[in-house]
Structure 1
């Protein structure tokens, strides 16, 4: 499994691991019942603490994305891409609503917001 950790990022390393594994599931790169590297193995590969990887696996377990079987390892438990994509869409919608509220609070018109949105989409 190829994960890239940005040690200079403000985002905690365990969150980077979580996001990348979720992304792999959404893109179909990791399917249901796919075994994940052991906590120690991934920690060694990424050159991070085993506690950091354990925290990432715990978050993924809480979210129902992976399941850990004592003595056998951790496996992808949930690979329903449609449900995960819908969750991401809801996050985008909430972020857009927040941006619109901020724009309106500083006096931006509907047309200005639309123009700004179009400019951002072009980049």
Structure 2
């Protein structure tokens, strides 16, 4: 599993790992029931502490994205449509926030922005 860590990113390493695994689950790249690399293997591949990978997996489990079975490993949790919908909504809000900021910088008014957004929404 490809995970890219950045020392330039202001977020902690465990959050970077959790965010990237969550994105792979939400996008469907990781399917429900699919096994994740063991914490030790992932730590070795990323050249980080096992404690860091453990924290990332625990956060994902707490959020309902993973299930852990003692002695067997960690697996993508069965699809929870409400959880996935909430995650998609969060991502959309984040992107819309950046779009609103860009529109304000460009001097667009609310009506003009909504018109552009509506047009784009219809095209997709």
TM, length-normalised to structure 1:
0.72
Match of 1:68 in 2: 68
Unaligned runs of 5+ in 1: 101-107
Q: Please show how residues 35-50 of structure 1 align to structure 2 within 5 Å.
A: 35-50=35-50
Aligned to 1:17: 17
SS in 1 for 2:75: strand
Q: CA separation in 2, counterparts of 1:20 and 1:71?
A: 24
Are the counterparts in 2 of residues 26 and 84 from structure 1 also a CA contact under 8 Å? no
Tell me the CA shift for residue 27 of structure 1.
1.5
Which stretches of structure 1, 4 residues or more, deviate above 3 A after TM superposition?
82-85, 92-97, 108-112
TM-score by length of 2: 0.71
Deviation at 1:86, TM superposition (A): 2.5
- Note the aligned Cα RMSD (angstroms): 3.1
Once the 2 structures are TM-superposed, how far is the Cα of residue 28 of structure 1 from its aligned partner?
Answer: 1.1
Q: Which runs of 5+ in 2 are unaligned?
A: 101-107
Q: How many pairs were matched up?
A: 113
